[in-house]
């Protein structure tokens, strides 16, 4: 039986986004504050995912054997280092989060049965790499606060309460929503970037965070005048709002995950871009909550 196991590790390092073939002004324009000398640092969090068959002892791998491999091949070399000079690979391609994840894969692949490398630069930014040449995934986490009411206006109060419970109360209720937006693309062989983070963040802010923050979704967002704003439907709508503009960054929207509370979240992938039907088109509330 196949099983995936995950091993966590950490290292602290600095890096700088700087290309010697560009002038100071060009580096500043392209990389912003990340181009400043002598660089800046992060407490990186690394997750190494490995797959294999369970052995007679109930293990894929003995973690006592995995830990020293990760330390020898990665963390002992990168901890308290300047990444641009730590490994020769970063002379050709800058040590962005996504590219560091890719090179860590290359360093560990001869020793471990990898299925994924996940590298957190900070709790709001991380990269995933699965061994597919230059393709990687980058996730930005942000948040907004909003209220909503779960009720189909075509149903009675009693019917809505039967379906949505307390969430159908007339004046609604609020959440501090956490939003994770994942894009995928090919890592640029020189800059190390699959997309410009500033552009990605700007799109998320302009199309979602600013319009949605401190609103009553049912009343302030026209789309939800006819669609019940469940977590699922909000995630689907956000996907539709971001898919086209995100392509302008050179990356493709891959996934939207909306965390409504610590106990409730929804995620949708961009491979299925169809939005739910509106109430005006005759969909039932049950249909609207299915993604």
Active site amino acids: 167, 214, 260
d(CA 151, CA 153): 6
Q: What distance, in Å, lies between the first and last C-alpha atoms of the chain?
A: 31
Q: Is 194 helix (H, G, I), strand (E, B) or coil?
A: coil
Residue 61 buriedness (CB in 10 A; 0-12 / 13-18 / 19+)? middle
DSSP states of 69-125: HHIIIIIHHHTTEEHHHHSTHHHHS---HHHHHHHHHHHHTTTS-EEEEEEEEETTE
Q: Is 75 left (phi over 0), alpha (psi -120 to 50) or beta?
A: alpha
| Contact between residue 216 and residue 148 where contact means Cβ atoms under 8 Å apart | yes
User: Nearest-5° angle of CA 45, CA 47, CA 48?
Assistant: 145
Among all chains, which residue has been given the structure tokens 């890592």?
A: 187
Counting Cα atoms < 13 Å in the Cβ hemisphere of 253 gives 29
Exposure b/e, 80-104, CB count within 10 A at least 16 = b: ebbbbebbeebeebbbbbbbbbbbb
* 86 Cβ contact list (under 8 Å, min separation 6): 13, 77, 78, 95
């Amino acid at each position: 039986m196949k099983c995936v196991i995950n091993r966590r590790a950490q290292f602290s390092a600095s890096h700088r986004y700087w290309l010697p073939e560009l002038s100071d002004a060009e580096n500043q324009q392209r990389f912003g504050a990340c181009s400043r000398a002598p660089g800046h640092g992060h407490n990186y969090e690394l997750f190494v995912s490995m797959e294999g068959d369970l052995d007679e002892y109930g293990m894929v791998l003995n973690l006592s054997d995995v830990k020293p491999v990760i330390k020898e091949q990665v963390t002992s070399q990168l901890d308290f280092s300047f990444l641009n000079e730590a490994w020769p690979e970063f002379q050709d391609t800058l040590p962005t989060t996504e590219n560091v994840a890719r090179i860590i894969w290359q360093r560990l692949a001869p020793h471990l049965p990898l299925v994924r490398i996940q590298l957190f630069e900070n709790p709001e930014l991380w990269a995933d790499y699965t061994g597919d040449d230059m393709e990687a995934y980058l996730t930005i986490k942000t948040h907004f606060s909003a209220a909503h009411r779960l009720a189909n206006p075509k149903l009675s109060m009693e019917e809505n309460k039967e379906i949505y419970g307390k969430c159908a109360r007339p004046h609604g209720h609020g959440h501090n929503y956490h939003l994770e937006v994942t894009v995928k693309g090919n890592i640029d062989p020189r800059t190390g970037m699959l997309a410009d983070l500033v552009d990605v963040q700007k799109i998320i802010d302009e199309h979602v965070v600013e319009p949605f923050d401190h609103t009553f979704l049912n009343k302030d967002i026209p789309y939800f005048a006819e669609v019940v704003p469940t977590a699922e439907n909000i995630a689907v709508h956000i996907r539709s709002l971001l898919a086209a503009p995100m392509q302008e960054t050179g990356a493709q929207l891959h996934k939207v995950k909306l965390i409504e509370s610590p106990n409730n979240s929804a995620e949708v992938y961009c491979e299925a871009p169809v939005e739910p039907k509106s109430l005006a088109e005759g969909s039932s509330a049950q249909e609207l909550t299915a993604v």
